[in-house]
Structure 1
Amino acid sequence: MKNNKILKDLQKAFNTGVSFMLPAVVVGGVFLAIALATGKPTDKGMEVTNQFMKNLIDLGIAGFSMMIPILSGYIANTIAGKPALAPAMILGYVANNPIGSGQIKTGFLGAMIMGIAVGYFVNWCKKWKVPATIRTIMPILIIPIVTTFVLGMLYIYVIAVPIGFLMNRLVDTLGTLQGGSAILMGIIIGAMTAVDMGGPINKTATAFTLALMAEGIYAPNGAHRIAVAIPPLAMALSTFIDPKKYTEEDKDLGISAFFMGLIGITEGAIPFAVKDMKRVLPAIIIGSAVGGALGMANGVEALVPHGGPIVLPVVNGKLWFILSMLLGTLISVAILHFTKPDINEEK
């Protein structure tokens, strides 16, 4: 019974974190989609020259920068109340940005872990027996400082180190696959792209494909740029096709995810994954892996470091670029159709 209560509390915390995060996702995604749609593809990505649109991009980036700290903050706030809010937002920001000697970041998964850790740590701090004079400053001074310091150092020196080691091993492993099976490489790149949706594993795939681009090898980048669009496009299409499986809030978010998918912003799928990780993550990982494999098998080459249909003019193998993206998306949608229950059934 106790385990069931903990799971229900965590589910409530995740849902609350997502609901507070959604406006930042929508603002960031819509502004970026509008601005990048006016740009032109270059070897450095989508280049926007209009100053007004550049300003819009800055606003969109700000929305995305706030997204993960808000998620972490309100997960912790749901578990332990206001004293947990600021420490969790700070540590969520830390998780989503490079830190420490290895400059490691753990993305939204790390931020969720830190949000949970802060919540339970703060609840423990609230039980401390302290004098009445100190108790008044506990929630605004002592608890936030102690929580941020203790869990921040734990993250930097304990949690981030093994993740950094894993990232280095992944890069080395991918490097050995250059001359191997194109399909296997496409599967690995596609799966890595979707597994944390813009987090460190996704960024590892990005770094690997960019390194190969510098050597004049563009096919792995093609697989990666196909895969980045599949998670948000799949979630958007799933909300359109299976409306009974999603809340009204999810359906609104599906529209935003659709536009993010068009410009290759994988983060558009994060809110859906946080709310239903056990069904959403396998679906988008499989779909992206299939899309990446198809792209590699058919020699698709993306000549710019950006993804989604918006870069089609600078892709070699345009037909298979679109087909691979479409088939990967449809596979993810099909998996969600058969695994995700209707809202009423789930309740």
Structure 2
Amino acid sequence: MAVNNNDLDLDFEVEVGGSNETQKESLKDMFKDPFSHMRTGISYMLPFIMLGGILKALGILIRVFPDVEFFNMCTTLGSVGMNFFVPFFGAYIAYSIADKPGLAPGFVCSYIANSNGSGYLGALISGFMVGYLTLFLVKAIRPSKMFQQIWSMFAPVIACLIVGVFLLAVLTGPISAFTSWAAAGLSNLDSSQGAVLGAIMGVLDGIDYGGPISKIASTIAGAAFSEGITTFYGARISAIMVPPLGLMIASMIKPRLFTKSEREYSKSGILLTFIGGYTELALPIVLNDIIRCTIASFCGVVTASTIGGFFGQTLSVPAMGLPSWFFVGNIPAYILSIVAGTTVTCVLIILLKTFWKRKDFDPDAEDEMMSVL
């Protein structure tokens, strides 16, 4: 009996059918509107920040009420939320690009990036790389019907392996090494020169919203704290709420410079910022307009940190948000630094958005990014 080779085609084939124009259009569609994928990542990330931030803020009260086990439980639960918001950010960027096949490799690679010191920036890169690679593998390689289900399982594995090796071998190593080198080089900062100390902490903290550069400041402050020096954390706490507060208040003063979703997010976000104190709460607004928001936030953070350093602000317990008010050494200076930094950020973002307008900006634009609120 003759065997028809076409009936037993077990090879994987790269899909090359169609005109060049059709292939170009398909490729363009694949990379269309990357910011929508980023907003999807943010929408799934936000609940973790909020849950983790509020619970950790409650948990820090164990310092005040050491015999109340409830606050210890809050810290444990809150830590889980804060540890996983970055991997979920990257995972859902990949999910937005490649649908379900991108979710698991996106989470794994983002977790690796975050664990190795590259923070949400590493997760951002991981999410896009995994998502696009998975989508490409699924779209470009079409096995025969018999092997379609097997390929749908193996394509994410291959994408995870390629991106994961890149992260471990190329990206996270140098970032971690740079962070350690910079922290070691700056570890001899003199806490007696308060304004200079504050300015340096502000420069490190003001660039990447809790990313790898901010971790240099965290390393320095942690090392100093272990030696009983609390001014490093004092300078940092003076500015940690400035980016979200400045941007959110600006959206209320000049609402037509912000999208409808950004305005709605800001209404609830201000309260959450005071409770949890996390700089990352600014990310949903920042990632829609990175350059302008980063310029404004950076200037506000440096202003606030410099003022905190000048007045020798201290923080006896590394707490953020509402609990921090119990542990700062100079409440008036704390208020002054937050107000000054927030004002600078607020004024600058309004000026930048007014005189340097965003292309294709629609103040009535609405998306699902902040739907969690």
In structure 2, the residue matched to 1:71 is: 89
Which is further off, 243-252 or 202-211? 243-252
- C-alpha distance in 2 between matches for 1:8 and 1:290: 38
- C-alpha distance in 1 between matches for 2:28 and 2:291: 17
Spell out the pairing of 1:15-34 with structure 2 (5 A cutoff).
15-33=39-57
In structure 2, the residue matched to 1:113 is: 125
Spell out the pairing of 1:1-347 with structure 2 (5 A cutoff).
8-33=32-57, 35-36=58-59, 39=61, 42=63, 50-97=68-115, 104-126=116-138, 127-139=140-152, 141-178=153-190, 182-254=194-266, 255-308=268-321, 310-340=323-353, 346-347=361-362
Distance 1:8 1:291, change over 3 A: farther
Could you tell me whether the CA contact under 8 Å between 2:54 and 2:276 is conserved in 1? no
TM-score normalized with structure 2 length: 0.78
What's the CA shift for 1:181? 5.1
In structure 2, the residue matched to 1:100 is: none
Which is further off, 182-191 or 217-226? 182-191
What's the CA shift for 1:180? 8.5
> Match of 1:197, SS?
coil
Q: Percent identity?
A: 27
Q: Match of 1:93, as an amino acid?
A: Y
- C-alpha distance in 1 between matches for 2:311 and 2:305: 10
Could you tell me whether the CA contact under 8 Å between 1:9 and 1:79 is conserved in 2? no
Supply the RMSD in Å over aligned alpha carbons: 3.0
- C-alpha distance in 2 between matches for 1:18 and 1:252: 15
Could you tell me whether the CA contact under 8 Å between 1:107 and 1:196 is conserved in 2? no
Q: Match of 1:88, as an amino acid?
A: G
- C-alpha distance in 1 between matches for 2:131 and 2:278: 30
> Match of 2:141, SS?
coil
Which is further off, 172-181 or 197-206? 172-181
> Match of 2:91, SS?
helix
What's the CA shift for 1:30? 4.0
Structure 1 unaligned regions, length at least 5: 98-103
Distance 1:48 1:270, change over 3 A: farther
In structure 2, the residue matched to 1:101 is: none
TM-score normalized with structure 1 length: 0.84
What's the CA shift for 1:31? 4.0
- C-alpha distance in 2 between matches for 1:225 and 1:256: 18
- C-alpha distance in 2 between matches for 1:130 and 1:233: 52
- C-alpha distance in 2 between matches for 1:218 and 1:24: 29
Q: Match of 2:145, as an amino acid?
A: A
Which is further off, 304-313 or 273-282? 304-313
- C-alpha distance in 2 between matches for 1:30 and 1:276: 26
- C-alpha distance in 2 between matches for 1:292 and 1:205: 12
Q: Match of 2:319, as an amino acid?
A: H
- C-alpha distance in 2 between matches for 1:250 and 1:67: 20
Could you tell me whether the CA contact under 8 Å between 1:68 and 1:93 is conserved in 2? yes
- C-alpha distance in 1 between matches for 2:67 and 2:59: 10
Distance 1:344 1:130, change over 3 A: closer
Q: Match of 2:202, as an amino acid?
A: G
What's the CA shift for 1:7? 7.4
Could you tell me whether the CA contact under 8 Å between 1:72 and 1:89 is conserved in 2? yes
Deviations 1:249-290 (A, max 9, x none): 434433235433444322222222222211222222221111
What's the CA shift for 1:52? 4.1
Structure 2 unaligned regions, length at least 5: 1-23, 363-373
Q: Match of 1:130, as an amino acid?
A: P
Which is further off, 202-211 or 239-248? 239-248
What's the CA shift for 1:66? 3.5
Could you tell me whether the CA contact under 8 Å between 1:29 and 1:257 is conserved in 2? no
> Match of 2:213, SS?
helix
Could you tell me whether the CA contact under 8 Å between 1:235 and 1:257 is conserved in 2? no
Deviations 1:312-344 (A, max 9, x none): 343223211220121111111111112236899
What's the CA shift for 1:51? 3.9
